[in-house]
Structure 1
Amino acid sequence: MTTIARSEVLLCEARFYAFHGVMPQERKVGAEYTVSVTVGYDYAKAAESDEVDDTLNYAELYELVKHEMQQPSKLLEHVALRMGEAIFQKWSQAAYADIRVMKNNPPMGAACAGAGVNLHLVNDKTKKC
């Protein structure tokens, strides 16, 4: 007998062009972003059934992230929190979400690949982490 101790659905480094930023120019011109999401989700039923309806569909997860990236915000912290709240609203059985939003080549005069935020949210409905 096999026991699944932990299962997650992943969206790795999805790329978007969006209009987030504190400076008005950032919200006007936009920038490239990379988003990664890990959702703690018990997909034991899906592993047994081989049916997409029994899991958290990563194509739907991508569309949710895409929708949130299209809503301009000043802070990436706000964008990440909106994503997490939307994930828990759509998939109430999700235990947690790790969300990373990176602005590629940020306009701060530094030579770096990106700057951004990581957010770890625990779904109060499940209390798993």
Structure 2
Amino acid sequence: MDKIVLKNMGFFGYHGNLESENSQGQRFFVDVTVVTDLTKAGQSDLLEDSINYVEIYNTVERIVTGAPQKLLEKVGTLIADELWNTYRGIVGLAVAVRKPAVPIPGMLDYAEITITRGQM
């Protein structure tokens, strides 16, 4: 199957389980992989025969910069559910949400969750 991939989209949001995360905010990074058949789009060269990745980006941006959630799992689920229910032709979907500023007293690059739907 073919894929549309948007990697490392960065946004500022107010998600987290701590009050300081909700009031100060921080950066979040998101990857989206959509599994779909791109044969028709590849032949026609028409956007309406594909899934518009600008719309995917806008959906992710709206959710990540929108209402605060306590868990990355919730942010990822909101994104996955909206994409899954909006675009016909998606047979698989993966949404990874990364949070580099994790309130852990130790060193790590980031915490990440991945939400999947369908066949990957």
TM-score of the pair, normalised by structure 1: 0.87
Q: What's 1:51 paired with?
A: 46
Aligned residue pairs total: 119
The CA deviation at 1:105 is 2.5
Q: Gapped runs of 5+ residues in structure 1?
A: 1-5, 123-127
Matches of 2:106 and 2:12, distance apart in 1: 20
**Contact persistence 2:5–2:31 (CA under 8 A):** yes
Matches of 1:105 and 1:72, distance apart in 2: 16
Among 3, 7, 16, the residue aligned to 2:11: 16
Q: What's 1:3 paired with?
A: none
**Contact persistence 1:37–1:98 (CA under 8 A):** yes
Structure with max Cα Rg:
1
Q: What's 2:31 paired with?
A: 36
- Moved runs in structure 1, 4+ residues, more than 4 A? none
Measured on the aligned residues, the alpha-carbon RMSD in Å equals 1.1
The CA deviation at 1:14 is 0.4
The CA deviation at 1:39 is 0.6
Matches of 1:109 and 1:92, distance apart in 2: 44
Q: Helix, strand or coil for the counterpart of 2:95?
A: strand
The CA deviation at 1:116 is 1.9
Q: What's 1:102 paired with?
A: 98
The CA deviation at 1:92 is 2.8
Among 84, 89, 93, the residue aligned to 1:93: 89
Q: What's 1:75 paired with?
A: 71
* CA offset digits 1:38-94 (Å, max 9, x no partner): 011111110000011110111111001111102210011011111111001210321
Matches of 2:11 and 2:112, distance apart in 1: 14
Q: What's 1:66 paired with?
A: 61
